A and B are shown apart, each in its own frame.
Chain A
Amino acid sequence: MGAERFTRWSRATDRIMTGLLWLSALILLGVLGWFIFAVLKDGLRGLSWQFISGQPHPVTAGGGIGPPLFNTFYVTVLSLVLSLPVGMGAGIYLALYARPGQLTEWLRLGTQALASVPSIVMGLFGMVVFSQAMGLGFSILSGSLALAILNLPLIVNVTEQSLRDLPAAYRDASLALGATQYQTLVRVLLPAALPALVNGIALAAGRAAGETAILVYTAGVSTSRRLFDFNPLAPGGTLAVYLWGIKANPIVPDWREIANRSAAVLLLVVLAINLLLLGPVRLWHRRFSGRGAR
């Protein structure tokens, strides 16, 4: 008797808890949908080419986001160019060269510690070192250097993981044929790891494009008065910082509309970076692995 009731009770609890876990998954989806809707609802209204490419107005209504948007791409690309060589080098070392031991443990600890440095903290460091000591001022280069360090651990981690995930036979076969470590790396391992690598770099690019706190006091909040100013010492205000700044100092009368649209554009840019870089990866992967339609 008691056992039967216990069983019934157990089954009921099981069903209720399963229902609650389903509910929490639906809440997660709901939150995402709600947030994206909240940004796009007002942000897509009045979005025009003139707004996207136009100059910001200092005090009057009707300004655009051309230079900040350009800086977003510039800073993102430059920071990656700066962090990829060192980050990939370190990841390659940890994956293929490092012997297990105390020294390697210290290297890992240092990398993990660097990964935990908050964006604003890195921003202050960048301000002291790049903007002031090195005399770069609030510039594209200064912001990119700070961002490069912020993204470094992610690049290291992604590189190491993508190499570790490869079958050991790839490496063994190449070495057994008499190739050096370096030849093995460049001709066999890196091409095979490329899809995962590009995936991780896309992640880093998306994060760089959306960063704010680290850039406010390194790249600065202002922008060049020319639209495509490639001078790395030009003021480096990105779209994310522009959105932050226009809320912090709402001077122009239409700041709300501008902020709404900026948030929408920034969200779409960050999502697009992830998608754009993922497309080619799938193609490459299909070709390399020999799977899929010919």
Chain B
Amino acid sequence: MAGRWHKVQDRLTSILFAASAVLTALAVLVIAGYLARQGFGVFAYVSPGQFFGGLRWSPPGTLGIPVLVAGTLASSLLALALGGGLGVAGAIFLARISPRWMDALLRPAVNLLAGIPSVVYGWIGLTVFVPLFRRLGGGTGFSLGAASVVLGVMILPTVLSLSEDALMAVPHELEDASLALGATRWQTIRGVTIPVAARGISTAFVLALARAVGEATAVQMVIGNTPSWPTGIFSPTDTITGEILTSMGNAPFGSAWSDALFMLAFLLLLLTVGLIVAIRGRGGANIGR
């Protein structure tokens, strides 16, 4: 059967497959390298102290990033607070309560939520939530709150599907033991299912956080793009991704401003990759967003 040609073919293709895997795995290093090379140029214009500690971001002259970091953290953590609870609740429902007909409705719904493009989320934010926040809090409506609500919905599918994986992996024997002892379903979920799945659920939160931190388009469309400190849900602010998306077209390539944006991209990459490495091997970690 396996003649000489087939052996050569087998060998060649196995080398090609291995090369593809190596190429894929090394890509992230190449990307980081290019961003770093461009980004470190910023320190020829601005000292690291000013860049990392300066309280104002006012390009092209003043390039202190803490304000942007604060905006990113505030919007992402608020989004996690809004979408995280609902996501886990939905996961518990799907894993332990949902009747079949509701399954058939809810699963496609979650997939649809995951499939809606960022820019469409941004447009919904612009037409629904920006006016809402304008009515509630005055001002323009472009705000940290509007961005967090949109982001919160965007991370729902991530939290939900990864949490559900974690809940599904809980051995039935444990739950049966609890039920046999007379515990109600909720007591079992609270006392057994959730604690056993806690590690996987926290993984879901970390991945959702990585998503929220990296999301650019939708946030940029509703957060106001003013580099001021986020003081409340009605205050307009800016994020790392939003600033890159807004300013890259205006900053002359090679200028301090442009290099600073590349540095921000590099830092963002370190952060998201760092989060992935931190949760590696914890179960429930799924690649592909």
Chain A residues within CB distance 8 Å of chain B? 10-11, 13-14, 17-18, 20-22, 24-25, 27-29, 31-32, 35-36, 38-39, 42, 85-90, 92-94, 97-98, 106-122, 124-125, 127-129, 132, 149, 152-154, 156-158, 177-183, 185, 206-207, 209-213, 216-217, 240-241, 243-244, 247-248, 259-260, 263, 266-267, 270-271, 274
Which stretch (B42-50, B163-171, B240-248) binds chain A?
B240-248
Contact between A206 and B153, CB atoms less than 8 A apart: no
- List 6 A–B pairs whose Cβ atoms lie within 8 Å, in order of A's numbering: A14-B185, A38-B128, A183-B2, A206-B115, A207-B115, A243-B120
Which residues of chain B have C-beta atoms less than 8 A from A120's C-beta?
A: 214, 216-217, 241, 244-245, 265, 268
Which residues of chain A have C-beta atoms less than 8 A from B35's C-beta?
A: 121, 124-125, 128
Contact between A20 and B89, CB atoms less than 8 A apart: yes
Which residues of chain A have C-beta atoms less than 8 A from B115's C-beta?
A: 206-207, 210, 270-271, 274
Which residues of chain A have C-beta atoms less than 8 A from B160's C-beta?
A: 28
Which residues of chain A have C-beta atoms less than 8 A from B23's C-beta?
A: 86, 90
Contact between B14 and A266, CB atoms less than 8 A apart: no
Contact between A28 and B186, CB atoms less than 8 A apart: no
10 pairs of A and B residues whose beta carbons are closest in the complex: A210-B117, A110-B25, A118-B214, A89-B20, A24-B89, A178-B1, A14-B184, A93-B17, A120-B216, A213-B216
Q: Is B98 an interface residue (CB 8 A)?
A: yes
The secondary-structure label for the interface of chain B is helix
Contact between A152 and B287, CB atoms less than 8 A apart: no
Q: A39-B120, A109-B277 are in contact. Are A115 and B20 (CB under 8 A)?
A: no
How close is A107's CB to chain B, nearest CB, in angstroms?
Answer: 4
The secondary-structure label for the interface of chain A is helix
Q: Which residue of A lies closest to B20 (CB)?
A: A89
Q: Which of A89, A108, A116, A274 is the one whose CB lies under 8 Å from B275? A: A116
Contact between B97 and A21, CB atoms less than 8 A apart: yes
A177 to B1, CA, bound (A): 9
Q: A39-B124, A124-B261 are in contact. Are A180 and B6 (CB under 8 A)?
A: yes
Interface-central residue, A18, A28, A98, A114, by most chain B CB under 10 Å? A28
Contact between B112 and A32, CB atoms less than 8 A apart: yes
Which residues of chain A have C-beta atoms less than 8 A from B282's C-beta?
A: none
A260 to B213, CA, bound (A): 27
